[in-house]
Amino acid sequence: MWERVSNDFMKEDNPYGPGDFRIRGEQVVSMKLTNPEITFKPRAERSDPSRAEPTEAWMSNVNERANRRSVRILEGHLVNGIEQRFEERAQQAEWWLSPSWNTIYLATGWTNYYDEPAVGQRYTPQLTQLFKSTDQGQEWEKLRWPEDQNITFLRFLDAQRGYLIGWGPKIWRTRDGGDHWDELPVPEGSRNPENPRQQFDLVALGQDNVLRLAFYDHAADASRIHALPWGEEISQQTFMIPGHVVMDIAANSEGNVYVLTTQGAPYFSLPAEEREAPRPSVVWSWNGDTLERLHEFPPELKGYALYLTPEEGLLVDGVDESSLMGSDVTAVSYDGGGSWKIEDEGRSAQGGYYDAQTGTRWRVEGYSLYRREIP
């Protein structure tokens, strides 16, 4: 059962959007990517009264609108309101919030949309920045980081120890809260010489403090899953899943690993005539020795996230694409993946997340914030 918590969630911040928010008690913090706000002249001031006309000329320029995108960190209270704590230009952003909420890491990426790629280059350069706050977002420090090194994922054990993963792919590790970073080797075969912006299909940090990396090996027609325990320099392949792309990985403190996959090779590597074939979502388990196929969902249910619930259930977050509009769904199993209860949550929400620590699921529709428990 959903409980409505607020009727005006994030209403104060324009343009509208809840962002990637987190809630603890009545407190809220959100990382929000925004487009610039576009306004229009009154009818009497337009050159053509029958057509909408932006207030300022730059609002009609696609490149200028892209250059003015930004990321914000907002913090506040469900009842007393939410305030902006930080803003930086960005078209891409990733963050990590510590369990205590004291420490926030934020990586931003910004591209000048007026620029063209340099001669012989495939892409226009992206400028990357890395920021850190140790007081719940009140004050921010810009950390030393090379602007030409993209950061796509942040995965931290705690405020001092963590990883950055970027295009290439590349991996860096810090032991001292971001003062120093060491680049680590990536798995053989994970890079594509023709694509400097190659990424891992999935990067996950388990409850066992092991970083797991997944990428598709086209020659083997299989996904390779590597494991990098904290403190080690080189990851090792632990298992492969033939004919599937990894969507998410969850691991408990004992090292039992669960994997959510999509059947088939990566979508954009397929010939056009094969892209519409059914691609079911599948859940697997790996106990350190054996890979077991636990469950295959109907093709219309597309899973994109996998969680371990506080009561050791498996939760798949997904979308039911059987109708034109689609709807959000959850699938939960409390018997190790043998049987599943699938619940339709309605049309796609504007935002939401599942808190795997408390078992609370949050959902935003319009300005309304809802929650329910999935223990």
262-272 residue pLDDT tens = 999 998 888 88
Structure confidence at residue 228 (pLDDT): 98
DSSP element (H, E) containing 202: strand 202-205
The SS3 call for residue 60 is helix
| Residue in the block written with tokens 């001292």 | 176
Structure confidence at residue 322 (pLDDT): 87
The whole-angstrom separation of Cα 359 and Cα 198 is 34
The whole-angstrom separation of Cα 78 and Cα 322 is 35
Average pLDDT over residues 25-49: 94
> Under 8 Å CB-to-CB from 229, ≥6 apart: which residues?
209, 210, 211
Residue 8 φ then ψ, to 5°: -140, 45
At 275, the pLDDT band (50, 70, 90 cuts) reads confident
Q: Decide: residue 307, CB within 10 A, 0-12 exposed, 13-18 middle, 19+ buried.
A: buried
By the 8 A CB rule, do 112 and 135 touch? no
At 110, the pLDDT band (50, 70, 90 cuts) reads very high
Average pLDDT over residues 2-16: 93
By the 8 A CB rule, do 58 and 66 touch? no
Average pLDDT over residues 184-188: 97
The whole-angstrom separation of Cα 363 and Cα 344 is 13
The SS3 call for residue 268 is helix
Average pLDDT over residues 275-304: 96
The whole-angstrom separation of Cα 286 and Cα 294 is 10
More confident residue, 233 or 271: 233
Average pLDDT over residues 62-90: 96
DSSP element (H, E) containing 317: strand 314-320
Average pLDDT over residues 264-282: 90
- Beta-carbon count within 10 A of 175 CB: 14
Distances in Å between the alpha carbon of 227 and those of 213, 252, 307? 6, 14, 18
Average pLDDT, the chain: 95
At 95, the pLDDT band (50, 70, 90 cuts) reads very high
The whole-angstrom separation of Cα 160 and Cα 180 is 11
Residue 84 φ then ψ, to 5°: -80, 130
At 358, the pLDDT band (50, 70, 90 cuts) reads very high
Q: Of 201-210, 211-220, 274-283, give the lowest mean pLDDT range.
A: 274-283
Average pLDDT over residues 296-314: 97
b (16+ CB within 10 A) / e for 256-274: bbbbbbbebbeeeeeeeee
Q: Tokens for 95?
A: 């963050």
User: What radius of gyration, in Å, describes the C-alpha atoms of the chain?
Assistant: 22
Residue 257 has pLDDT above 90, yes or no: yes
By the 8 A CB rule, do 30 and 13 touch? no
Structure confidence at residue 348 (pLDDT): 77
